[in-house]
Amino acid sequence: MCSIFQITCDGALFNRCLDCFLGKAAYIRNLQDNLVALETELGNLIAIKNDLMRRVDDDERKQMIRLERVQRWISRVDAVKTEADQFIGDRSQEIEKLCVGGYCSKNCRSSYKFGKQVAKKLQDVKTLIAEGVFEAVATEAVPERAPEPVADKRPIEPTIVGLQSQLEQVWRCLVEESVGIIGLYGMGGVGKTTLLTRINNKFLESQNNFDCVIWVVVSKDPRLKKIQEDIGKKIGLSDDSWKNKSFEEKAVDILRRLGEKRFVLLLDDLWERVDLTEVGVPLPSPQNTTSKVVFTTRFIDVCGSMESHRKFKVACLSEEDSWELFREKVGQETLESDHEIVELAQTVAKECDGLPLALITIGRAMAYRKKAEQWRRAIEILRRSASEFADLGEKVYSLLKFSYDSLQNDTVRSCFLYCCLYPEDYGILKWDLIDCWIGEEFFGESDRFGAENRGYDILDTLVRACLLEEVEDDKVKMHDVIRDMARWIACEIEKEKRNFLVCAGAGLKESPDVKGWENVRRLSLMQNQIKTLSEVPTCPHLHTLFLASNMELEMIADGFFQFMPSLKVLKMSRCGQFEGFQLPIGMSELGSSLELLDISYTTITELPEELKLLVNLKCLNLSWTSRLNKIPRQLISNSSRLGVLRMFATGYGYFHEAPEDSVLFGGGEVLIQELLGLKYLEVLELTLGSYHALQILLSSNKLKSCIRSLFLQLTGDTALIIDATAFADLKHLNELYISEGIELEELKIDYMEIVQKRREPFVFRSLHRVTMEVCFELKDVTFLVFAPNLKSLSLWNCHAMEEIISVGKFSETPEMMGHISPFENLQTLDLSDLPALNSIYWKPLPFTHLKEMAVSGCDQLEKLPLDSNSAKERKFVIRGEEDWWNRLQWEDEATQIAFRSCFQPRS
């Protein structure tokens, strides 16, 4: 049984179906030919691409840039080649599927799809060939010159130990902040140029909006013409016609060209102000910081004269960073070559005191010293005479010496070199150093105040030149490497002129051979363990002798000073820390020359009569000679040229034992009578043992104008009230110390008089340090609200003290309470054994300069004058017992949180 189906359609539909079938069949029928053609045309395309790339590479070496359309064409060629290679690789497998002479396929669907893709890729290849014909695109491949890089990359070592955080700080100023001129200052060899180079190269690595970065080395003798040439070269003004222009014409050209750019000008090694406007540089301002100027200098003064908007001190490395840099330069192989070397290497690194130049120089010199003995020898050399160490003199000291050479005159240079007489890491009291400079007559015969001001100016100059460091308000120190450089200059470079012998802090148990002292002008044996000075040296040229801090010194030969006819400065402070220490016989031989004698902090009990013959003495320091109770009468008054007398805490423990023939007899009343006869006295630090002696002092306008420090030991006086307003007339009073004022009830001050009669309410402007101890009846020290510059306050064993500043004292003048904010400059507050104390101040204070607050034995003190704003400026340490700390009440939770980390338990 069968059925017949009949299909009918019109001719047009049939023809379309036939064309479709035949078209699809063509992809199968032409597959072999298309694969051959694809392989051939692909080869042609790759040849065209290779020719083009050779042309492009050649032009790029000539600083021409590749057009984006050419780059897109090359990318398309690479993509097409990858796909075509895949088709050609699959050729054998796909041809095996064909049958009937290549007109049909065993898998029509698969072969049709593959054949269609091959035909499409062949067309893509032909299109790319048409677009990439060599002559058609080569002429457009590199039509324009590549732009100049924003900065010229400068060579630098890969490491950046210790500089990363500072680099980030300065970079933020450059790219973010409204800062136009930035100064980087610091001592020689600290890494200023390294930091500036990092900044220069960072412009090549980071996205920024600047058109050009210009590097100029200025150096010690700046030549404006050279600066113009360096700038002109970077901004395209360097042809012969420009070089022949005048300085003023070049400045106009630079101004016009830079005015069109966002530029950064990097100036390395400025020693003085450079007038950039004269050169033609449009200066940035706080209102216009589209361009920047960054410079390096050794002098903070230059930051001021260049009108920098921000300045950064490039400081020495921390101990951790120092060791990392030193270890890197020495190399791990050397450090591991002997089990002792690591510890010895750490000692050597510490001798460099964080100065990168010294760490690098010494590290490289020690890189292949693989025996512990070599390292021990290196330490010995560095400590004895560092200039003998390989390369230090040539590569380090000679670089640092530029700062020394640039000092204004020989006086400033002499003052600088004098500082190397002190030991390493020694905090030098400013006034003590100036006393020595004046004693050496560095300032001629000028008056004391004039000379003193000159001394402070020179200290300021040396600090600003980064040759001294200010460690506290009243102290400076020399960086170890700067000190070694100063010794190198004084003892080696200018030895004939300066004649220094410096053995300070050398660990000596015996003095150096006195035969080597003969030509010495300045000798320092300070801070050693010398026990005896048994020989009598001959030192006809000796001006300064430092014997200070030889605490084990038991004996100085009689006649030791017999042959020192030129000695002007003798420092013996902290010598002989044992009972019975005495000055040697024969000091009268110094009578015609000695100008400064310092025997402070010694255990001496009496001064010999022969000191009366020191008729040229201008400065006598007896401070903290607490056991001294006999100073012969007329000894002080005979020193008629005495301008400085320091007797702070002199004999304070032995006033009641002073014999009648001592000027300390009667609590100092006799002493004051002698002081009144000193015509040239200008600086007086005094200890008095009675209230009556204090009244005599305060009745003398002459002595009041001289007082710098006052130590009062008031044992024996009864029911005492001192009118503190009288201290207002002591215009130069820097320190007040009251000890054993057992019956002292009040330091009274007339607040109404201050409000109504005195134009200046802060009547104790010079007062920096106050100590009250064993004042059992004293209830407050409210007068200190009128001491705005107070830096240190110590209150010990004042059992009745309830408030430090009493609110009740202002009940008659309540309007003053709103204007008073005491302790604005306070740095240390020490409160000990004040069992009744319940208040420091009645409201929170900012304490913007406080470093440490120490509290012990103050059980009633349950609240500190702090709130969350007190911690805004800076954190400080609070020491005390843990149970006291845990009982404290706080203004609020935010305050407690803010100060939680400040506490350190007191043992």
Q: What is the pLDDT of residue 745?
A: 87
> Residue 810 above 80 pLDDT?
no
Task: Report which of 645, 640, 632, 631 is spatially closest to residue 677, judged by C-alpha positions.
Answer: 640
> Residue 23 above 80 pLDDT?
no
Residues 293 and 427 in one domain: no
> Residue 30 above 80 pLDDT?
no
**Cα–Cα distance between 229 and 835 in angstroms, integer?**
75
Query: End of a domain among 390, 412, 432?
Result: 390
SS3 of 227-280: HHHHHHHHCCCCCHHHHCCCHHHHHHHHHHHHHCCCEEEEEEEECCCCCHHHHC
SS3 of 653-710: CCHHHCCCCECCHHHHHHHHHHHCCCCCCCEEEEEECCHHHHHHHHCCHHHHHHEEEE
Structure tokens at 618: 């201008």
Residues 778 and 821 in one domain: yes
**Mean pLDDT of the region 283-299:** 85
Structure tokens at 307: 């009108």
Q: How many C-beta neighbours within 10 Å does residue 805 have?
A: 21
| Domain extent for 787 | 765-907
Residues 771 and 883 in one domain: yes
Q: What is the pLDDT of residue 495?
A: 66
Q: pLDDT tens for residues 679-738?
A: 999 999 999 988 889 999 999 999 999 999 999 998 766 668 888 888 888 999 999 999
> Residue 600 above 90 pLDDT?
yes
**Cα–Cα distance between 589 and 697 in angstroms, integer?**
34
**Cα–Cα distance between 529 and 132 in angstroms, integer?**
90
Q: Report yes or no on 474 lying in a domain.
A: yes
Q: Report yes or no on 404 lying in a domain.
A: yes
Q: Which of 202-211, 534-543, 622-631 has the lowest mean pLDDT?
A: 202-211
Residues 303 and 440 in one domain: no
CA dihedral 686, 692, 695, 701 (to 10 degrees): -60
Residues 170 and 308 in one domain: yes
Q: pLDDT tens for residues 388-430?
A: 777 787 788 888 888 999 899 999 999 999 999 999 989 999 9
Per the structure, the count of domains in the chain is 5
Q: Is the separation of the CB atoms in 615 and 589 below 8 Å? A: no
Q: How confident is the model at residue 19 (pLDDT cuts 50, 70, 90)?
A: very low
Helix axes 372-385, 341-351, angle to 10 degrees: 20
Task: Report which of 715, 798, 781, 771 is spatially closest to residue 746, judged by C-alpha positions.
Answer: 781
Residues 878 and 771 in one domain: yes
Q: What is the pLDDT of residue 475?
A: 93
**Has this prediction a pTM greater than 0.85?**
no
Q: What is the pLDDT of residue 349?
A: 92
Q: How many C-beta neighbours within 10 Å does residue 718 have?
A: 9
**Cα–Cα distance between 470 and 815 in angstroms, integer?**
40
**Mean pLDDT of the region 874-901:** 90
Distance set, CA 487 to CA 401, 465, 519, 568 (Å)? 11, 18, 16, 21
Residue 87 vs residue 833, higher pLDDT: 833
Q: Report yes or no on 442 lying in a domain.
A: yes
Residues 854 and 805 in one domain: yes
DSSP state of 743: T
> Residue 17 above 60 pLDDT?
no
**Cα–Cα distance between 294 and 216 in angstroms, integer?**
11
Q: How confident is the model at residue 319 (pLDDT cuts 50, 70, 90)?
A: very high
Helix axes 319-330, 356-365, angle to 10 degrees: 30
Q: What is the pLDDT of residue 442?
A: 93
Q: pLDDT tens for residues 728-759?
A: 889 999 999 999 888 888 888 877 666 665 55
Q: What is the pLDDT of residue 350?
A: 92
> Residue 570 above 90 pLDDT?
yes
Helices and strands per DSSP (H, E), number in the chain:
31, 30
Q: What is the pLDDT of residue 82?
A: 84
Q: Report yes or no on 620 lying in a domain.
A: no
Q: Report yes or no on 804 lying in a domain.
A: yes
Q: What is the mean pLDDT of the chain?
A: 86
Q: Report yes or no on 618 lying in a domain.
A: no
Query: End of a domain among 440, 470, 498?
Result: 498
**Mean pLDDT of the region 560-586:** 92
> Residue 647 above 80 pLDDT?
yes
Q: Report yes or no on 623 lying in a domain.
A: no
Burial of 569 (0-12, 13-18, 19+ CB in 10 A): buried
Residues 173 and 304 in one domain: yes
Specify the residue for token string 């300065």. 170
Q: pLDDT tens for residues 351-387?
A: 899 999 899 989 988 988 899 999 999 888 888 777 7
Residues 347 and 465 in one domain: no
Q: What are phi and psi of 411, to 5 degrees?
A: -65, -45
The residues, any chain, with a CB within 8 Å of residue 48's CB and separated by 6 or more, are 129, 132, 133, 134
Q: How confident is the model at residue 532 (pLDDT cuts 50, 70, 90)?
A: very high
Residues 169 and 303 in one domain: yes
Q: How many C-beta neighbours within 10 Å does residue 198 have?
A: 19
**Mean pLDDT of the region 764-778:** 93
> Residue 541 above 60 pLDDT?
yes
Q: How many C-beta neighbours within 10 Å does residue 773 have?
A: 16
Residues 375 and 433 in one domain: no
SS3 of 366-387: CCCCCCHHHHHHHHHHHHHHHH
Of the spans 107-111, 143-147, 289-293, which averages the highest pLDDT? 289-293
Q: pLDDT tens for residues 668-685?
A: 899 999 999 999 999 999
**Cα–Cα distance between 571 and 553 in angstroms, integer?**
14
CATH number at residue 483: 1.10.10.10
**Cα–Cα distance between 82 and 46 in angstroms, integer?**
12
Q: Report yes or no on 832 lying in a domain.
A: yes
Q: What is the pLDDT of residue 830?
A: 97
Residue 540 vs residue 72, higher pLDDT: 540
Residues 796 and 853 in one domain: yes
> Residue 103 above 70 pLDDT?
no
Q: What are phi and psi of 630, to 5 degrees?
A: -125, 110
